[in-house]
Structure 1
């Protein structure tokens, strides 16, 4: 009966064995100590309880399968399907599961390494960016220095006499152009080759100058010059001088501004300017004053009285009659007082053409002033004239050495060309003079070696002779033998 049930269940279990069931760890078969159960042949899942040896095995039949719990059925079926090789492999499966922690640790280390590599890449990128910025900054600095050197070279070139006038800007006050000679002044400035700007000036009727200096940033910058030439009318000039005379005569009781006080006020308002005044047609005032004096003298002598025609003439020349009378001596006194107390000079000009020429010459002087100042700034506290103490050119063949030795002797104080020629005639080179000193036996003999050399002046009957003397002989000896570079040759006499 047991065999019949097993056969009947084989047919049913054959179809059920193809079902794929989930695998659970707790359902895994475990090794059994029952030898009979290990050696028992594979039974179908439909088997019910059978006796194998002394052990009872519970078999599940097809009739009672619905009464068995699902977990137990799955476990029994899994035990049926497991083989000895699978059982031997179970410890390895548990071992691979235990290695999961190591794999997790390896994954964690990899993440840290990735993070570290990202940080390193970020640092490298930042370092590259900093190097790029440094290269760009260095390039900009080099370009800036190059532009400054170029601007400096252009500025140095612009100071040359043949180039400086092209970089000058003459600023003329519009009020000056509205006068009689304004057109002549403008034409003269434009013919000079410099730029002309018509701008309102702080001082009325004045002319100022500016220099276009090359700049690395702005290309060309206008640098103002301190010089200012102001044209003063005859009326204002005479009035200020008259106030000065009244103040001098009344011991400072006058309240009106004098020429000196008026200029001082302008200097206070513009301390960075060097003012100079120009007065045009002052001679016309003196001529009119002289004519009036002569007419009054003739009228007084003849006893004539002013008539209607003379009344009209006075009205026509009433502007000149209103000016106070000032003599030439008083004008000179006021101008000298002005120059002594303020340093401002006054230029008297006859015509507007002379005023235009004065502005032209002042423009040239202002333009060439920096070049002349730079030329005068030498490293020597004395000036060597090229005629007697200048440099001497010596070629490769030695031509010019004699003249160089002569000029070296002439650098001494109170040594003329005749004295140097007398020494050259006896000792044509410094080496020969040094050899002569070495042949002397005593110090006094060396000091007086050149004392008796004759100096000849003139030719023929009018020629004269004299000796070099002990002073120059001693100075030459100190020049050839002294080891003190700061020794004063004249002080040792």
Structure 2
């Protein structure tokens, strides 16, 4: 009894409380379930083990009270392993894991407060079991084998797969084509934007290429010409030209396909013609036109026409340098012959020789200024080719520079001048007349309508405007007239004042303008001209 009292007194003592035990609220409720197992028999212990939380487990062995503690101990897990034959499912294992955790926690709490009993041992061994040993068996239904497909089904499935594959390939191809088309359009838009930018006056000169014939550089002013072109800021190419001693132009244009600039030739060509060639061609023209000789050789006009036939699409212009030197030479020769004729030193009856040899050079025929101008006018009328006469090679270099700028800016100027009207509009007329909501500006609109008539000045329009400030007032005046003759002459006697003060003058509008304004206000035929007789 003493030992029992000691045991009970020990049980009544207040045990220490740990922090990790306070986190499990189930210990307080399950303490009574395991405290009274000392006086229970074997059947009660088995019932406690089999019914935990109201969940029953199958195939649980009964623990006998006759077992000796000295006998070799076999764990309960090994003994139950031989009895477990069913298949474990995922859902039952989850439930068993939760039950095992509760059993283990309950057994630990019970062992900390009371001596180890048979129930504690059973709880410990049950907690040490693997999850599958206490799981509830759930049998899954047997899987059915798929039925064998027929040849037609296999063939149809293959065809369907091929159709889908072709559809995917076609879709990818369409996407690729669309992407390429978008990239091409983007490149074209970029090329168009760059081409439009290249036509601006401040940018166009940078995209020009001046092609110079090598024979032109070998002359006296070849170096000056090359320096002037390079100072302009454009590119220079020394290439043999179809027309000798000529200068042509090319424009670099961006290309969308190659992403590089493509040189497009321009139509303008400037040719430097020597004085000897010009005088010879003009002399042939004189012989053909005045004397009717056809064997004298090509004239200036026929020679240019032959060049135009060989090079169609080219706009040719000629430049002659230092023609005055030829006229000065002719003048000195004429004076010399006059002196020789006067002194009698000339032999041959005063007849001048057309040609003589002087160091291997031939004397040019005599051509006057009037004959040169006549030949040049004939050339321009029949071929449209102009001839420019310059004094020095420096002037020729400046002429090439100005022509380069003109050729570079020509597309921009042509595009700017393209308007929707076939006639020229002045700036003040193109802007129109602004009229506000109060009607201010209507008087000027009526004045401009009158001034649209031919041969109507500002003073004449002002005189009509002073008498009839609006078209409605003029129309009312026409309606008050009794005959058409009176209507036509309604505005004839209106005075037009010019100037101010003493120098001012007056005159009348006249019947002509009065008639035209009457036709403008009353005529119903849109095809009738205002200058026609009524």
Q: How does 1:281-300 map to 2 (within 5 A)?
A: 281-300=322-341
Output the CA distance in 1 between the equivalents of 2:526 and 2:195.
39
Residue 279 of structure 1 deviates from its aligned partner by: 1.1
Q: Does 2:492 match 1:456?
A: no
Match of 2:423 among 379, 382, 397: 382
Residue 465 of structure 1 deviates from its aligned partner by: 4.5
Cα deviation, 1:171-216, whole Å, max 9, x if unaligned, reads: 1111101110011111222222222211110011001112222332
Match of 2:350 in 1: none
Output the CA distance in 2 between the equivalents of 1:289 and 1:145.
66
Q: Does 2:379 match 1:335?
A: no
Match of 2:88 in 1: none
Conserved 8 A contact 1:418-1:455: no
Output the CA distance in 2 between the equivalents of 1:448 and 1:250.
63
Match of 1:158 in 2: 198
Q: How does 1:324-363 map to 2 (within 5 A)?
A: 324-363=365-404
Output the CA distance in 1 between the equivalents of 2:297 and 2:530.
62
Match of 1:239 in 2: 280
Conserved 8 A contact 1:437-1:446: no
Match of 2:519 among 469, 475, 483: 475
Match of 1:174 among 193, 196, 214: 214
Residue 444 of structure 1 deviates from its aligned partner by: 5.9
Match of 1:267 among 308, 312, 329: 308
Output the CA distance in 2 between the equivalents of 1:142 and 1:489.
57
CA separation of 1:485 and 1:325: change in aligned 2, threshold 3 A: closer
Output the CA distance in 1 between the equivalents of 2:426 and 2:366.
53
Residue 437 of structure 1 deviates from its aligned partner by: 7.5
CA separation of 1:456 and 1:195: change in aligned 2, threshold 3 A: same
Output the CA distance in 2 between the equivalents of 1:468 and 1:322.
69
How many aligned residue pairs are there?
Answer: 377
Residue 241 of structure 1 deviates from its aligned partner by: 2.4
Output the CA distance in 1 between the equivalents of 2:385 and 2:444.
49
Cα deviation, 1:371-417, whole Å, max 9, x if unaligned, reads: 33333332222223335x43335275665443333223322233322
Q: Does 2:425 match 1:418?
A: no
Match of 2:156 in 1: 116
Q: Any unmatched runs of 5+ in structure 2?
A: 1-144, 348-354
Q: Which secondary structure state, in structure 1, belongs to the residue aligned with residue 148 of structure 2? A: helix
Q: How does 1:38-77 map to 2 (within 5 A)?
A: none
Residue 293 of structure 1 deviates from its aligned partner by: 2.6
Q: Which secondary structure state, in structure 2, belongs to the residue aligned with residue 227 of structure 1? A: strand
CA separation of 1:194 and 1:247: change in aligned 2, threshold 3 A: same
Q: Which secondary structure state, in structure 1, belongs to the residue aligned with residue 430 of structure 2? A: coil
Residue 352 of structure 1 deviates from its aligned partner by: 0.6
CA RMSD of aligned residues (A): 3.6
Conserved 8 A contact 1:174-1:200: yes
Match of 2:46 in 1: none
CA separation of 1:179 and 1:107: change in aligned 2, threshold 3 A: same
TM-score, normalised with respect to structure 2: 0.61
CA separation of 1:214 and 1:402: change in aligned 2, threshold 3 A: farther
Match of 1:147 in 2: 187
CA separation of 1:120 and 1:401: change in aligned 2, threshold 3 A: farther
Q: How does 1:62-141 map to 2 (within 5 A)?
A: 107-109=148-150, 111-141=151-181
CA separation of 1:440 and 1:149: change in aligned 2, threshold 3 A: farther
Cα deviation, 1:461-492, whole Å, max 9, x if unaligned, reads: 5331424754244234248xx6x776755558
Q: Does 2:266 match 1:222?
A: no
TM-score, normalised with respect to structure 1: 0.66
Residue 151 of structure 1 deviates from its aligned partner by: 2.4
CA separation of 1:426 and 1:216: change in aligned 2, threshold 3 A: farther
Residue 115 of structure 1 deviates from its aligned partner by: 2.8
